[in-house]
């Protein structure tokens, strides 16, 4: 199976925070944001593997700043490493400031997905080919995270 580059499966997803997405004080609910991030990570894993993938774990969810009703949320998702049948995805969510277009990180997390074959069993996935220092570092750290589970 041929390896793939991170850029081949990178996903950017955009959402708008609506009143139903917020708590009583107008701040985006963490569970809603994690759901959006999970969808972006799922698309990334399925694009990389060319198979249906299911969420196996979510690690190290960090909330960095609040997002509020009306904010535009931009979610970026990248493969950090592909193992035999699983793929680790790093996902970040940003709040886009309308007044100047700048981005503020609101959350980040690592998602692990398992690729499935037509019978629903774990299936082999293509390896990842890191192309720069940052990708190589995340690639190595992914193995450490996997070994620490």
What's phi and psi for 22, nearest 5 deg? -110, 165
Q: Are 83 and 29 in contact (CB under 8 A)?
A: no
The pLDDT score that the predictor gives to residue 1 is 76
Ordered mean pLDDT values, 10 residues apiece, the chain (149 residues):
92 97 97 98 98 96 96 98 98 92 96 98 97 95 90
The enclosing domain of 46 has a CATH number of 3.10.129.10
Tell me, what's the pLDDT at 24?
96
Structural domains counted in the chain: 1
pLDDT at residue 100, as a whole number: 87
> What is the rounded distance in angstroms from the CA atom of residue 59 to the CA atom of residue 130?
21
Written as six digits, the tokens of 26 are 């107008």
Q: Find the domain containing 89 and state its range.
A: 4-147
Task: Evaluate if pTM is beyond 0.85.
Answer: yes
The C-alpha atoms of residue 113 and residue 53 are separated, in whole angstroms, by 6
Q: What is the pLDDT of residue 148?
A: 87
Q: Which of 24, 37, 43, 45 is nearest to 64 (CA)?
A: 37
The string of DSSP codes covering 55-96 is EEEEEEEEE-S--BTT-EEEEEEEEEEE-SSEEEEEEEEEEE
pLDDT at 129: 96
* Residue 127: Cβ-neighbour burial (10 angstroms; 0-12, 13-18, 19+): middle
């Amino acid at each position: 199976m041929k390896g793939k580059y991170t850029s081949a499966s990178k996903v950017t997803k955009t959402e708008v925070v609506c009143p139903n997405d917020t708590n009583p004080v107008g701040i985006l609910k963490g569970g809603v944001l994690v759901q959006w991030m999970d969808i972006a990570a799922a698309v990334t894993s399925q694009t990389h593997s060319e198979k249906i993938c299911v969420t196996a774990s979510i690690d190290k969810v960090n909330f960095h700043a609040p997002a509020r009703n009306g904010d535009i949320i931009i979610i970026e998702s990248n493969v950090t490493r592909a193992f035999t049948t699983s793929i680790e995805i790093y996902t970040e969510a940003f709040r886009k400031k309308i007044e100047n277009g700048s981005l503020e990180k609101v959350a980040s997390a690592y998602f692990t997905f398992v690729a499935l074959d037509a019978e629903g069993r774990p299936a082999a996935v293509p390896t990842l080919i890191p192309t720069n220092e940052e990708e190589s570092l995340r690639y190595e750290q992914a193995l450490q995270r996997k070994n620490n589970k």
